[in-house]
Structure 1
């Protein structure tokens, strides 16, 4: 595929999952170019070394509007539409993994966007108002847009295929202004905003769009033996069912695939998080597992430890020493 790559966006808290996502891309899709859009200034040495990932930080963004106004929850991914290093791209959220050859859904000859086919439970009136936009506000601000017409096409924006430069920057600036003025109008970061921009363009004949079943949500794995079988692993090998291909998306919050979360089917993410550590540091699976537990628990331990340290200053040294001890157990 000409001038194509995969883009991920992450911030410090979900970088741990982005590493697994990159590992899954390399496992199933080979040496396809990967770009990481980073909200923050933290290092991402693991994926750069292991998978030759291109990295874009805020300071690398040329356009001042995007640099100043398009970083943070949801909005970071929007930078890709103007500053992607690829003319055509697949976007994936950090808390996703590829499973099989998902590139079979790419069809840039006939479509400008290939997006997920969302389950209808999200697309009744209450679902649209919860996951996409406040329809009353939308009708006030965009009286000529027939939002009802596309109710079965709106998509959860954790994964989609798109083209660079397809949106006018001035249009995006207008959406950002409306988002600031009417904070209740757009839902879930950029999700409602992006759906509106796309389907306004579809209605105006600017864009060609196709819905495909691109992603499966991690939250639906709870007590679902059929889907656990679909995304199973035997030893160190993911088991594909025929030519099955999809993106598994844990969609954050209570669905995050942390290693200790037994109520969420996290084995595929855990496998690829471990693989990234093995590829980067050449450590065995036992050490990789220990490191993942540290990586998952350390942010909470640090927060509570710092609170205690304010009351008991001597704990500061103990906290720092404990972290060094944990890291030494899995020293690269």
Structure 2
């Protein structure tokens, strides 16, 4: 796909989470209505309603010109990176379908860098001597990685969720990503050993971003632009939503991306905080069905 704008938002879905990406798109329109948006579609299913409602640019994984690319990224978390190699924007913010825009944070996007990490906490001290158990579980095993990249220092980095970030087009070349994925298949447990998936991208992405930055091949910056309720709590959300009922707050104290990773943020999922996400879901349905119809639509989606 040819570049169509210098900056935009990108999100994506497969058939099973289309009902969630509706909320993501509704939040984008509510807080950043003038930012162009691309929807990456992984699978052969109809999204014409979303195309009509949100005027999104559709990027289908099945229509990518490279057969190697289609084979690698279809049906897994790698699909999001279609925007990096074939997307319509020179620089974009990727937002997973379990996340929503919560206020207009676009003034804080740094298009002068190659990759902006939406997490500011250094996960492992620079002088650490032991590998924390969560690193090979969620990201990569530094001991196995040493055989591939002996100069890479795994300490002193902010390890981030691959569900939210900002990126320049082709910041990572497809050939580089393709080769690393092939290595990972030959080395079980190299990436994300605890997640039991061969389709995960979080370990690969974190390694590539940090090793390229370490070598001076990539300019990165960290920003506190992501709020994960299970990690940072819900008090800030509750304060912003107070008195608003089930509608988007007019004022957001700290514009950011609200990311409900882990369990799906369904209305009756007692293990996951979902109020802001439910507000976004209702906003999507309210345009066509009114208040009562919006609630019925959400309840119907959650009962499936």
Bucket of the pairwise TM-score, normalised by the shorter protein: 0.7 to 0.9
Task: Determine whether 1:143 maps to 2:150.
Answer: yes
Q: Give, in angstroms, the shift of residue 113 of structure 1.
A: 1.1
- Change in Cα spacing, 1:241 to 1:129, as seen in structure 2 (3 Å) is farther
Partner of 1:197: 208
Task: Determine whether 1:78 maps to 2:106.
Answer: no
TM-score by length of 2: 0.87
**Alignment RMSD, CA only?**
2.2
SS across alignment from 1:239: coil
**Structure 1 moving runs of 4+ over 6 Å:** 121-124
- Change in Cα spacing, 1:229 to 1:262, as seen in structure 2 (3 Å) is farther
Contact 1:231 1:240 in 2 (8 A): no
Q: Give, in angstroms, the shift of residue 169 of structure 1.
A: 2.2
Q: What is the rounded CA distance, in whole Å, between the counterparts of 1:142 and 1:97 in structure 2?
A: 36
Partner of 1:258: 266
Deviation track 1:119-146 (CA, whole Å, cap 9, x = no partner) reads 4568872232222111221112221212
Which of 171, 185, 199 is the matching residue for 2:176?
171
Q: What is the rounded CA distance, in whole Å, between the counterparts of 2:227 and 2:239 in structure 1?
A: 13
Q: What is the rounded CA distance, in whole Å, between the counterparts of 2:206 and 2:74 in structure 1?
A: 18
Deviation track 1:212-261 (CA, whole Å, cap 9, x = no partner) reads 11211133477x44542245560354336665111111114xx2111212
Contact 1:5 1:86 in 2 (8 A): yes
SS across alignment from 2:100: strand
Contact 2:61 2:79 in 1 (8 A): no
Deviation track 1:53-108 (CA, whole Å, cap 9, x = no partner) reads 11122222112221111123211112211011111111011100000112122111
SS across alignment from 1:72: coil
Q: Which runs of 5+ in 1 are unaligned?
A: 299-332
Q: What is the rounded CA distance, in whole Å, between the counterparts of 2:42 and 2:282 in structure 1?
A: 23
Contact 2:157 2:210 in 1 (8 A): no
Which of 136, 140, 158 is the matching residue for 1:133?
140
TM-score by length of 1: 0.80
Partner of 2:258: 248
Partner of 1:17: 20
- Change in Cα spacing, 1:129 to 1:244, as seen in structure 2 (3 Å) is same
Partner of 1:229: 239
Tell me the matched-pair count.
289
Partner of 2:114: 112
Partner of 1:44: 47
Contact 1:186 1:192 in 2 (8 A): yes
Partner of 1:272: 280
Partner of 1:156: 161
Contact 1:233 1:268 in 2 (8 A): no
Contact 2:122 2:158 in 1 (8 A): no
Q: Give, in angstroms, the shift of residue 10 of structure 1.
A: 1.5
- Change in Cα spacing, 1:232 to 1:143, as seen in structure 2 (3 Å) is farther
- Change in Cα spacing, 1:79 to 1:233, as seen in structure 2 (3 Å) is farther
Contact 1:50 1:276 in 2 (8 A): no
Partner of 2:97: 94
Which structure would you say has the larger Rg? Answer: 1
Partner of 2:128: none
